[in-house]
Structure 1
Amino acid sequence: MEETFDFDEIIDRRGTSCEKWDKYRGRDIIPLWVADMDFRSPPAVIEALKERVSHGIFGYTHAPDTLYEAVLTALKEEYGWEVKHEWITWLPGLVTGLNVACRAVGEPGDDVITFTPVYPPFLSAPPLSGRQTVKVPLACRDGRWGLDLEALEAALTPRTKLLLLCSPHNPVGRLWNREELASLAAFAEHHDLVICSDEIHAGLVLEESQRHLPIATLAPAIDRRTITLLAPSKTFNVPGLGCSFAVISDDALRRAFRKAMGRVVPHVNLLGFTAAEAAYRHGEPWRRGLIRYLRGNRDLVARELEGMGLTVAHVEATYLSWIDVRHLGIEDPVAFFEEAGVGLSCGSDFGLPGYLRLNFGCPRPLLAEALGRMKAALNSLSV
């Protein structure tokens, strides 16, 4: 019999220096903005952390061999991906990986191309690395977001060296399929681009009939030109412990990546390593329960928001809904819903004004309350 977990439990995060909740300290606003979940991490992770803390010494720590084994086993079992120990480079966060990739590929002044809307660090990492961000809008046809390879081709310049890919995609919730990824891989190969693929939401596929496909697994030629960024942080709700990693099979590309890290990028902390190993070794029953729960939350959000006359992209992966509010004619939709008691992310931060992102990774009673507040606010517009 499979373990059960209480995802309905509302845990008070106020007073814990929580970024998500402290943004609205002293205000009656339910925060559904930044991408962390309001669930306790898997019991196995909590127990492993307690055991490590009880040792009482917190010195400099490297990734243990048992963690490598756990990661390699998880990648093989989940994706059939045969990754070697030496391909892995540990990072204190996925955003660090994006910035390092921009420094590792090409030269200052080169172009880095990416699809928008997208997670904000995709837009900031190139200029912070002395590169130019080239934005290619995703195509939205009949409410479904997709890659626009014609627009990608048109945006290409002789100085384009790196493609930043978000897979699964934050914020539109797409799980790119084999055909889409193969087309993108062929494009990168034809134009000799390195792909940096952020796959941090790979463990959060909500569609029962679909599976995440790492773009590096399509073919050896694609593997050699790909930097894949992964982490347990989103799936197992441990983002505050700062443990991510890059998988880079090509020796030269991996050397360039590590050289770009220099002595600037700090080491992963020992509790991050501890949590990651426990998550990959023992977190699967919790993850399966989480996916079922998130699927219910996703469907509740879609049903309620569509009932309010809002268009919501179907979420295939992640715990993030992307909502079109352009037709409301509200100058500042974030402020409008904050006034109603709900904190959402602004589409402008992702490169597309007129949209909002809603994080439904929270207990359902809290989510239902937030949706009720949104409905009341929209009803007030028509009074």
Structure 2
Amino acid sequence: MQSSFPLVSRATISQISPSLIREIANEGMDRPDMLAFWFGESDKPTPQYITDAAITSLQQGETRYIQNLGRPYLRQALSDYLGQLHGRPIGSEQLAITSAGINGLMLVAQTVLSPGDKVVAITPVWPNVVEIPQILGATVDRVALTVKEGAWALDMDQLLSALRPDVRMLIINSPGNPTGWTITNEEVQTILSHCRKHGIWILSDDAYQRLIYASDRHYAPSFLDYATPDDRLISVNTFSKAWLMTGFRVGWVVAPPLIIEALGKLIEFNTSCLFEPCQRAAQAALLSGESGIISLRAELAHSYQFLVNGLRELPGVTVPESGGGMYAFFRIEGFADTTLLTKRLVRESSLGLAPGAAFGPEGNGWVRWCHAVSSTDKLQQGLARLGEFLARNR
């Protein structure tokens, strides 16, 4: 007998759109000749000293329950790293270790947001950033980046007008995924001052903070450089990108101590704790990884320019300048539906790119290409396949 009670999730969950990036990738993952640039990760392996730290931890039997907020040795190493990077103390009491950056974003939203709260996000952006508040019953207003003088830019007047006193949180990702837009120090100070005035929380997604193209900076402009301990500022970061540790799933949160205390309670009811071998790996990354980050940044700056130069040689391709990350976000004249375009590229050219629509309606007509590769030969092959496709379809 069929039940009269439908077997469905709550409406908010059922309305979440599945990942378009995954949809494209699932079409092409099994193709032996596929050139894949759809996911946001380097093709380089995790450095051996990091994996060795995890292996040693496993061999020593560190496989038990541990502190919710992370092991003290990792929180102290992170405190030392952040203090040295930003030139100001960031104590362990301001830090939580999370099961990846995405877990940190969800935990922060669970801590700060309530159903009906208003959130503002700068877009286009990684879809998880805007879906998380909506999962919790908040509403999200989007302020779209623009292209100004050939580069991605933020319309500050538009943003400040959206940040009204009834807004609970602003979400900023810089350098941004997918655009590579990078906030300026002046913009940081203007936004921080405005949010202080109205009591608006700032959630800064800093996953690409160290991966900037400019050689005269160690990291992208940061709210942590200007905020006081009393500011409503939360920074979420990850070991995935700068330390090549995507599979380890280690992230962290910087927040006022009372928020960290609340996060500790929520971690207990989410994941309880992070696997200690992963924490040992993260500690090793902090203690010995600076030279690797410097090398990775130089490689990314080179591969970015190589890719952008190659794209701009193709007919009808427009690529705005960006300041960091690991992506080129571009459009091709005559291809408005880039979801269809990227599916065709998989089927006809074995070329895997991400459709701009995956990052919100502002991304329609755009395409994201991850350039985090160990050899530009792979990029050259991809450019050749894209050029051949365009020649056949003009």
TM-score tier (shorter):
0.7 to 0.9
- For the residue of structure 2 that corresponds to 1:328, the secondary structure is coil
1:207-250 alpha-carbon deviations (Å, 9 max, x no partner): 112342320321427x62101111211111111111111111x2
Distance 1:237 1:172 in 2: 20
Moved more, 328-337 or 278-287: 328-337
- Cα distance in 2, alignment partners of residues 22 and 53 from structure 1: 36
1:58 paired residue among 63, 72, 96? 63
Q: Is the counterpart of residue 161 in structure 1 residue 173 in structure 2?
A: no
In 2, Cα distance between equivalents of 1:95 and 1:147? 24
Report the number of matched residues.
Answer: 362
The 5-angstrom pairing of residues 1-383 of structure 1 reads: 24-62=29-67, 63-157=70-164, 159-210=166-217, 211-220=219-228, 224-248=231-255, 250-261=256-267, 263-309=269-315, 310-329=317-336, 332-338=340-346, 339-351=348-360, 352-364=363-375, 365-382=377-394
Are the aligned partners of 1:99 and 1:129 in contact in 2 as well (CA < 8 Å)?
Answer: no
Alpha-carbon distance in structure 2 between the residues aligned to 1:22 and 1:48: 36
**CA drift at 1:337:** 2.0
Gap change, CA 1:34 and 1:168, over 3 Å in 2:
same
Deviation at 1:176, TM superposition (A): 1.3
Rounded Cα–Cα distance in structure 1 between residues aligned with 2:172 and 2:118: 14
Confirm or deny: 8 A CA contact 2:182 2:324 kept in the other structure.
yes
Q: CA RMSD in A?
A: 2.3
Once residues 213 and 113 of structure 1 are traced to their aligned partners in structure 2, the CA distance between those partners, rounded to angstroms, is 20
- Cα displacement (A) at 1:347: 0.8
Aligned-pair CA distance for 1:191: 2.0
SS of structure 2 residue aligned to 1:263: helix
Percent identity, please: 22
Question: 2:104 and 2:185 mapped to 1: Cα distance?
Answer: 24
CA distance change for structure 1 residues 271 and 325 in 2, over 3 Å: closer, same or farther? farther
Cα 1:270/1:255, change in 2 over 3 Å: closer
Instruction: Structure 2 unaligned segments of length 5 or more: list them.
Output: 1-23
Distance in 2 (alpha carbons) for counterparts of 1:65 and 1:103: 24
Instruction: Provide, for residues 47-101 of structure 1, a one-character-per-residue CA deviation record: whole Å limited to 9, x for no partner.
Output: 2223223324522234333322321221122221310011111110211222222
CA contact (8 A) 1:111 1:157 kept: no
Instruction: Give the superposition deviation at 1:333.
Output: 1.9
Structure 1, unpaired ranges of 5+: 1-18
1:132-170 deviations in Å (ceiling 9; x for gaps): 111111122122112222222343455410111112211
SS at match of 1:206: coil
Structure 2 distance, partners of 1:283, 1:321, is: 26
Task: Flag the 1:22–1:92 CA change in 2: closer, same or farther, 3 A.
Answer: farther
Note the alpha carbon deviations across 1:118-142, whole angstroms, 9 max, x for none: 1111120111111111111112212
Q: In structure 1, the residue corresponding to 2:270 is in which secondary structure?
A: coil
Give the 3-state SS of the residue equivalent to 1:78 in structure 2: helix
Aligned equivalents of 2:264 and 2:199: distance in 1? 21
Instruction: Please say if residues 325 and 333 of structure 1, whose CA atoms lie closer than 8 Å, have aligned partners that are also in contact.
Output: no
